[in-house]
Amino acid sequence: MVSKKYFSVCKYMFVDTQFPKVFRPTFLDFEPSIWWGFDIKPEEVNDYPFRHPHNKWLARRYPFKTNTLEIYEGKAAMSLRWHLGGSCYVHTNTMNPATSEFDDDDRFLYLVMAYKDKDSWDGKNLLPRLKNFIHWLEEMPSCPVEAVYCRATNCNPHSQRHLRLTNMKLEPKATKQRLDKCYRSYFGATDWDEYLDGDGIPFLKLRFEPKNPKK
């Protein structure tokens, strides 16, 4: 893993896009795994170059670390994990809603997943903390983000077991239907009809009203 000191002298590396690289011997059977970068604290935000200005803005208030989640052989998902407080977290990345591929387009911020750590969660609600995270982004001067979106995903089935590598606290009642209803009522989410996820269902576009959008 690249050291923190290296970022301070290398202008071509960005702290928010350097995700851990996975090296796995080919003779081992594949198992899902997660690989973490190092923590970046708000007081360190000016010490490193950022690729995405909205990530630098978010990092002024929220600590983060990069991660690479190996889902199955040949398929990995990279994201930034933001600490919302009290061991509540949200993972994000810039993702093109038309292709469902991560890219460098600052206009679209995808909320990959939000959860509470099963061992260290402080017992307070995650949702207000996530809403504050979005509100903080809305305060960004010349905000390049035009849409914040997600999909309702039930993390309990065996097919989603790779997500448990984050040490998330499983919520038996958090079905896809209940999450969909929650995102609509609490975050003002609506169907983003022109963009479909891998199951052919519209992504959920959250209410997002930047006060100073980029012109």
- Of residues 23, 167, 148, the one with CA closest to residue 95: 148
Given this model, what pLDDT does residue 4 score?
A: 57
Q: Which residues of 163-178 are buried (b: 16+ CB within 10 A; e: fewer)?
A: bbbbebbeeeebeeee
Strands 202-205, 190-196: pairing is antiparallel
The pTM of the whole model exceeds 0.85 = yes
Cα–Cα distance measured from residue 111 to residue 147, given in angstroms and rounded to the nearest whole number: 11
The answer to whether the beta carbons of residues 126 and 88 sit under 8 Å apart is yes
Given this model, what pLDDT does residue 170 score?
A: 93
Helix (H, G, I), strand (E, B) or coil at 134: helix
> 193 Cβ partners below 8 Å, 6+ apart?
202
Q: Which residue ranges in the chain fall short of pLDDT 70?
A: 1-12
Given this model, what pLDDT does residue 215 score?
A: 85
Given this model, what pLDDT does residue 111 score?
A: 98
Given this model, what pLDDT does residue 97 score?
A: 96
Please compute Rg for the chain using Cα positions. 17
